[in-house]
Amino acid sequence: MKRKYGFTLVEILLVVIIIAALGAMVLPRLTGRAMQARISIAKTDVTSNIPSALDLYELDNGRFPSTVQGLNALLTKPSGHPEAKNWNGPYIRKKPMDPWGNPYEYKYVGSAGNEYDLYSLGADGIEGNDDITNRDD
């Protein structure tokens, strides 16, 4: 008798079922991790990366950019008041965008606690509870 080599339909179906079961267990865990990673990136940006560039700007110019000048003052020398006489930038390589593709929000407040508010509007792009901010409150 000749022996045939290959897989039977039952064997192929069994392998497909096993792969589908593994995928069903792993996929939900990976999708949650993507959102966690984006939140982590935004937190690092608003508490460390962008504030470092703002600190360098402040060291050179004696104050932070105004709200109107915004984070663009880190890329190109701003015009208007206050004048950036000692601008020595660019302080960052590209316009700061959050992980969801929206620009980070910046407001110069000049208060004693924080000189500025820096935040991401989160995944929905609307101000609300999911915002990621440099404030501790």
Domains and CATH numbers, the chain: 42-133 (3.30.700.10)
**pLDDT for the residue numbered 130:** 81
Cα–Cα distance, 18 to 49 (Å, whole number): 44
**pLDDT for the residue numbered 136:** 64
- pLDDT averaged over consecutive 10-residue blocks of the chain (137 residues)? 72 86 76 82 91 92 92 93 89 93 89 78 84 77
Burial state string for 97-129 with b = 16 or more CB within 10 A and e = fewer than 16: ebbeeeebbbebeeeeeebbbbbbbbbeeeeee
Under 8 Å CB-to-CB from 105, ≥6 apart: which residues?
117, 118, 119, 120, 121
Peptide bond preceding 90: is omega within 30 degrees of 0, i.e. cis? yes
**pLDDT for the residue numbered 111:** 60
Cα–Cα distance, 88 to 56 (Å, whole number): 9
**pLDDT for the residue numbered 126:** 82
Q: Which of 133, 65, 52 is nearest to 93 (CA)?
A: 52
Cα–Cα distance, 125 to 120 (Å, whole number): 8
**pLDDT for the residue numbered 1:** 61
pTM value is 0.73
